[in-house]
Amino acid sequence: MASALTDKLTRLVKEMRGQARITESNVQDMLREVRMALLEADVALPVVRDFIARVKDKALGQEVMGSLKPGQALVGIVHRELVATMGEGVADINLNAQPPAVILMAGLQGAGKTTTTAKLAKHLIEKRKKKVLTVSGDVYRPAAIEQLKTVTAQAGAEWFPSTPDQKPLDIALAALDYAKKHYFDVLLVDTAGRLAIDELLMQEIKDLHAAIKPVETLFVVDAMQGQDAINTAKAFKEALPLTGIILTKLDGDSRGGAALSVRQITGAPIKFAGVSEKLDGLEVFDAERHAGRILGMGDIVALVEQVSAGVDMEAAQKLAAKVKSGDGFDLNDFLGQLQQMKQMGGLSSLMDKLPAQLSAKAGAVDMDRAEKDIKRKEGIIQSMTPKERRRPELIKATRKKRIANGAGVQVQEVNRLLKEFEQMQGMMKKMKGGGLMKMMKKMGG
């Protein structure tokens, strides 16, 4: 469960104790590990090469601060460079156009275009109070048109009818005309799914683009696509002036290296991430979090490790007994753990207490941010009723909204916390029967 990358770097660091700088000779081994980690996360090879070159440039000659070791410093540099690469650019949808603002959705079949079209419609209606029309130009699969009709209704937007005997261009122009006459703010144009890069279909979407002049041309790409994402991204970038990327299926178990590949190849900002099949599963892309995921330092892993490293054995035993007795791990326990972290004098000071292996991990995250994050999480749990804390699975959408209001956060944050909790609960279940104690001893020792 530990991050492979930081472990390896820490081992390397041990071998070069006493070196205060990142140098040409010590950086090579470390960069090899970073390279492996990126490839494991499915970042495309040419992108990895480029990235490593940039990191090396930044790292060489860098003074290593205070008690940080060169390996820890390098993880920090890698993390920051990942964030910088994936995070630049405008996050939200640009609607700066004479209404209706036209948004063209492009991508391979199965990438999640139709679902994402409806998610975006919902987002624009709820968050930006827009009047939204959707239309499907996918005349090759009648089911695709019907699918858009269904999800558009679920999103609370209006759907413009089209039929398989029409030309996509005619459909789009008719929808545009209708949107103008009926004062829609936004027209979302879903396009034909391409199974692979296909010349004819590429020409079709190019013509469509030229005719409807979208203010946003969004490339929808499946995060599970891995190495292949780079070829798809190249083809779409050559065909269309992409203005943004939406990365779907980030709820899957891929490490999401496609984000880095696609961002670098297209130069377009990653605007949103799809995190479920449901229409509320669209989040503003968070480069910081995603960098952690690519490096294999998911939030939950870091949290468990930090907590277990500082936790006192009595509390650990109680928790272990609880897990064992089948009482279950609930949000009260989760809150307890968060509070314990705070009691230990804040994360920054906690870092000094951690064994080297763990502080390397902690060194890569922004401590201020992490501390604020804990406070927000506490706020969310404290806005729940005692019953909800014991049985979080009972929390319905309306309650989530109230809880979010109570804690002064967005609903997405409540969802994220519940998901994190679920993951941790899953881990706790797996550790039944003494595993937890063993893990804590290992971590603390």
> Residue 72 class from Cβ within 10 Å (0-12 exposed, 13-18 middle, 19+ buried)?
buried
Q: CB 313 → ligand GDP: shortest distance, Å?
A: 40
Q: Are strands 158-160 and 186-190 parallel, antiparallel or unpaired?
A: unpaired
DSSP 8-state class, residue 111: S
Binding segment toward ligand GDP, per CB under 6 A, in 69-77, 108-116, 341-349, 382-390: 108-116
Cβ atoms of 75 and 295 within 8 Å: the answer is yes
Residue 218, beta-bridge partner list: 105, 244
- What minimum distance in Å lies between the beta carbon of 151 and ligand GDP? 8
Using CB under 6 A, pick the residue from 76, 107, 168, 256 that binds ligand GDP. Answer: 107
Show the CA angle centred on residue 416, arms to residues 149 and 254, nearest 5°.
75
Q: Does 251 bind ligand GDP (CB under 6 A)?
A: yes
* Coil, helix or strand at residue 207: helix
Question: Residue 200 is encoded by which pair of tokens?
Answer: 């004819």
Task: List the interface residues with ligand GDP, window 301-340 (CB under 6 A).
Answer: none
- Give the burial class of 251: count Cβ atoms within 10 A of its Cβ; 0-12 exposed, 13-18 middle, 19 or more buried: middle
Window of 45-53, 109-117, 211-219, 309-317 that interacts with ligand GDP by CB under 6 A:
109-117
Number of residues that bind ligand GDP (CB under 6 A): 17
Q: Is 113 in the site for ligand GDP (CB under 6 A)?
A: yes
Q: CB 68: neighbour CB atoms within 10 A? A: 19
Instruction: Tell me the CA distances in angstroms from 78 to 15, 44, 58, 115, 348, one per residue in order.
Output: 20, 16, 9, 33, 20
Place of tokens 């910088």: 84
Q: Which two tokens stand for residue 360?
A: 């390397």
Q: Which stretch binds ligand GDP (CB under 6 A): 273-281, 313-321, 330-338, 381-389?
A: 273-281
Task: List strand residue ranges (DSSP E) for 123-182, in order.
Answer: 132-136, 158-160
From the list 244, 257, 274, 292, which residue makes contact with ligand GDP (rule: CB under 6 A)?
274
CB 166 within 8 A of CB 221: no
Q: How far is the CB of 205 from ligand GDP (least distance, A)?
A: 13
Determine if 193 is a binding residue for ligand GDP (CB under 6 A): yes
Q: Please identify, among the stretches 61-69, 245-253, 311-319, 356-364, the one whose residues bind ligand GDP according to the rule CB under 6 A.
A: 245-253
Interface residue with ligand GDP, options 12, 34, 187, 275 (CB under 6 A): 275
Tokens 């070069």 belong to 16
Interface segment toward ligand GDP; rule CB under 6 A; list 88-96, 269-277, 337-345, 432-440: 269-277
Under the binding rule (CB under 6 A), the answer on residue 361 touching ligand GDP is: no
For tokens 């020792």, what's the residue?
445
Residue with the closest Cβ to ligand GDP?
274
**Tokens 């496609």 — which residue?**
258
CB-wise, 276 or 410, nearer to ligand GDP? 276
Residues 9-68 interacting with ligand GDP (rule: CB under 6 A)? none
DSSP 63: B
Q: What is the helix (H) or strand (E) element at residue 370, kind and residue range? A: helix 367-382
Number of helices (H), then strands (E), belonging to the chain: the values are 21, 8
Residues flagged as binding site: 107-114, 190-194, 248-251
User: Are the C-beta atoms of 254 and 224 separated by less than 8 Å?
Assistant: yes
What angle is formed at CA 177 by the lines to CA 171 and CA 178, rounded to 5 degrees?
90
Contacts (Cβ under 8 Å, ≥6 apart) of 107? 113, 193, 194, 219, 220, 221, 232, 236
Known binding-site residue numbers for GTP: 107-114, 190-194, 248-251
Least separation in angstroms between CB 353 and ligand GDP: 39
Which one among 72, 115, 266, 306 touches ligand GDP, defined by CB under 6 A?
Answer: 115
Q: Does 111 bind ligand GDP (CB under 6 A)?
A: yes
**Binding of ligand GDP at residue 146 (CB under 6 A)?**
no
Binding mask of the shown chain, residues 279 to 308, with x at each position contacting ligand GDP by CB under 6 A: --x---------------------------
Which stretch of DSSP H or E encloses residue 106? strand 101-106
130 binds ligand GDP (CB under 6 A): no
Does 168 interact with ligand GDP (rule: CB under 6 A)?
Answer: no
The verdict on 276 binding ligand GDP (CB under 6 A) reads yes
Q: Mark residues 59-98: x for contact with ligand GDP by CB under 6 A, - for none.
A: ----------------------------------------
Contact flag: residue 380 with ligand GDP (CB under 6 A): no
Could you please report the per-residue DSSP string of 259-290? HHHHHHHH---EEEEE-SSSTT-EEE--HHHH
Judged by beta carbon, residue 113 or residue 263, the one nearer ligand GDP is 113
Structure tokens at 304: 């468990």
Nearer to ligand GDP, 39 or 197 (CB): 197
Give the nearest distance from C-beta 218 to ligand GDP in angstroms: 12
Residues that bind ligand GDP (CB under 6 A): 107, 109-115, 193, 248-249, 251, 274-277, 281
